A and B are shown apart, each in its own frame.
Chain A
Amino acid sequence: MKEAFTATSFDAPEIKARVQRQTLSGMIAMGVSLGVLVAISSMPWWADQGLIRSVVEISCYVAVAQMWNLLAGYSGLVSVGQQAFIGVAAYAMFVLAQLWGLNPFLAVLLCLLAPAVLAVPTYGLLHRLDGPYFAIGTWVVAEVMRLATSTFGYVNAGAGMSLRVMTSYSAEQRAIGVSLLTALMLLVTVGGSFLLLRSRYGLALVALRDSPVAAASQGVNVGRLRFLVWISAAVGTGFAGAIYFMAHLRITPPAAYDPKWANVAIFIVMVGGLGSLEGVLIGTLIYFFADRWFGQFGAAYLVVLGLLTLFMALFARGGVWGLICRVVDAPWFPTRRTLLEDRP
């Protein structure tokens, strides 16, 4: 115990390392994604009306689900009232195009101001509420929007509005407009999410998801990041809403603010896989085909959907994609950074 500890220096071998971000599966998926976007943009030239409508519908589900995923899977903000943004964007679009005479396709982009504006006070009011109470609070906001719109004479209250200005465009022009907007929406929502998650904000989000306290101690501005994600999700969701109702040509308050949007988003994300982009795509496909094949059974089919969501929440929180991941490690949208050593 008498000898003092002497410091000795030693030569540590220098390690050359690099960070690998792309994987083979990721590159394949990137190619496929670009192909899909091109295909969607070009739909008017090779697809019929029915197919276009289906693709637009699926794309809207993907967008809304992915936005919900960003909120719940990464920011810890669980919302059951995203339909508020769908409705407000869609109605803003109808007002701009039908009542104010703007170019409808431009209106889809300009109307996004509405959900952004709604998102601010909503967050301000609700963010101090505990998790589950925050969720129901979002539902109340959606209900307020629905009720207020139902009594708002300017937008024809409960009777709803029709997008008659679209008749001034040919069927082909409408198809082109919808297809391009849909492709843009997917690029912005899914592509944008991917870029976000790969960036340092993505790292911050994952840290936030794992432990808000630890993340804050590492310099992540938790409050501001959550707020920015909330607004972005609202805008992305609104984008889908505007496109959906433009394609439908008709809007009413109960349809615009239908809780079904929340149900679908939750189902898709929970079944597909929370916290993963791949999960959203898988979940949407599952939902879409289940709806096509079993929707005819009405309420009974919805009972199964509800129970499936319950089951996933209890026993398989990673969803289908989570189960796949246990077997194979081949992400389509790689966001991890792998440290590799360059051995001489």
Chain B
Amino acid sequence: MQWLDGLVQGVLLGGLYAQYALGMALMFGVMRIVNVTHGDLMILLGLVGISLAARFGLGPWSVLVILVALGAAIGLLLQRVILNRVVGSDPLPSLIATFGLSIALQNAMLEIWSADTRSLDGGAIAQASFQVGPMFVGVLPVIVLITATVLTGGLDTAVRYTRFGRALRAAAADVDAAAMTGINPKNVYAAATAIAVAILGFAAVFQSIRATVSPADGPFQLIYAFEAVIIGGMGSIWGAFLGAMVLGVSQSVGFRINPGFGVLAGHLVFLIVLAVRPQGILGKE
């Protein structure tokens, strides 16, 4: 019984992690860049959302719309100002640049918002739950899971079947050849980053409602996104989703064994996957 509950909660947690992982998978797939500020941007959006809600009395859905739009804008800005300068075969500059930015961002948020943890009032939805058999399942986590599934499916479909998706895959395969075929790589990159950070807008709202956000949390979210992508398999969007599920379940089950063991259990599962099947569950050889 405990285990079933752990499983269900884990899948729901996975829905949140999937929203971190999608953006990371997209950016790495197209530009081979890992944006170290990925987690910090989610926290930033969360803190902004909480402040806006407090200042203007906004409900969570209004905040969601604002944060997704803000996320897209931030993504565009980040790409044009910083990331465009460090795209290339050498991974070091993009890593160090985003690493430095991450430190700056965390501390700037600390200055502005202080280290207090904050959360967003989710209203009635946050408390509601319904009964499934012998268990009670929260409404909010189910919404999170459904959102994650829709986002993943949508992104995957777009990448496979749309003009934009083809341009993305072409730029990822051979950026020079893509330019020779009429694609402007900078536009493709900007769109990818904008989408990645816009998705974080969803995650920011959900995380703020279900738990708390504080300026120093960013690195942990980054690690979860990264682990989800590796477990699920690089180069696969549904892989990111699946990896997030595995991570969520691992942490949830670990937590039920011992409250201090949750996150560590996730790390251990990650290391095991790395040892046994390094290309990930859905990854190609």
Contacts and interface: CB of A to CB of B under 8 A. Distances in A.
A and B: direct contact (Cβ < 8 Å)?
A: yes
Nearest to B278: A128
A137 to B, nearest CB: 7
B177 interface: no
B86 A313 contact: yes
B97 A314 contact: yes
A274 B93 CA distance: 11
Contacts of A310: 82, 96-98, 100-101, 104
Contacts of B106: 306
A309 interface: yes
Nearest to B108: A303
Q: Lowest 8 A-B CB distances belong to which pairs?
A: A131-B91, A309-B100, A306-B104, A306-B103, A132-B34, A310-B100, A313-B97, A313-B96
Interface stretch (B1-9, B55-63, B182-190, B261-269): B261-269
Given A147-B264, A299-B107, A299-B110, A270 B96 contact: yes
A306 B101 contact: yes
25 contacts: A78-B91, A124-B275, A131-B95, A137-B230, A140-B227, A140-B267, A144-B264, A144-B267, A144-B271, A147-B260, A150-B260, A151-B260, A151-B264, A270-B100, A303-B103, A303-B104, A305-B100, A306-B101, A306-B102, A306-B104, A306-B107, A307-B101, A314-B85, A314-B86, A317-B93
A309 B91 contact: no
Interface in B82-122: 82, 85-86, 91-108, 110-111
A332 interface: no
B103 A305 contact: yes
Contact of A132 (B85, B95, B110, B270): B95
A130 interface: yes
A118 to B, nearest CB: 13
Interface residues of A, number: 48
A180 interface: no
Interface string A96-135: 0000000000000000000000000000111011111101
Contact of B100 (A143, A300, A306): A306
A132 B33 contact: yes
A302 interface: yes
A110 B125 CA distance: 58
A147 B34 contact: no
B26 to A, nearest CB: 14
A308 interface: yes
Given A130-B32, A303-B104, A314-B86, A143 B223 contact: yes
Nearest to B271: A125
A191 interface: no
A150 B103 CA distance: 25
Nearest to A305: B103
B138 interface: no
Contacts of B165: none
A313 B267 contact: no
B93 A314 contact: yes
Contacts of A195: none
A72 B96 CA distance: 11
A148 B267 CA distance: 11
A139 interface: yes
Given A131-B95, A300-B111, A313-B93, A306 B105 contact: yes
A299 B111 contact: yes
A309 B34 contact: no
Contacts of B255: none
B95 A78 contact: yes
A302 B103 contact: yes
Interface in B39-53: none
Contact of B222 (A136, A267, A299, A307): A136
Given A132-B28, A136-B222, A310-B97, A72 B92 contact: yes
Interface string A266-298: 110010001000000000000000000000001
A202 interface: no
Contacts of B230: 129, 133, 137
B224 to A, nearest CB: 10
Nearest to B270: A140
Chain B CB within 10 Å, residue with most, of A76, A135, A259: A135
Contact of A308 (B85, B93, B100): B100
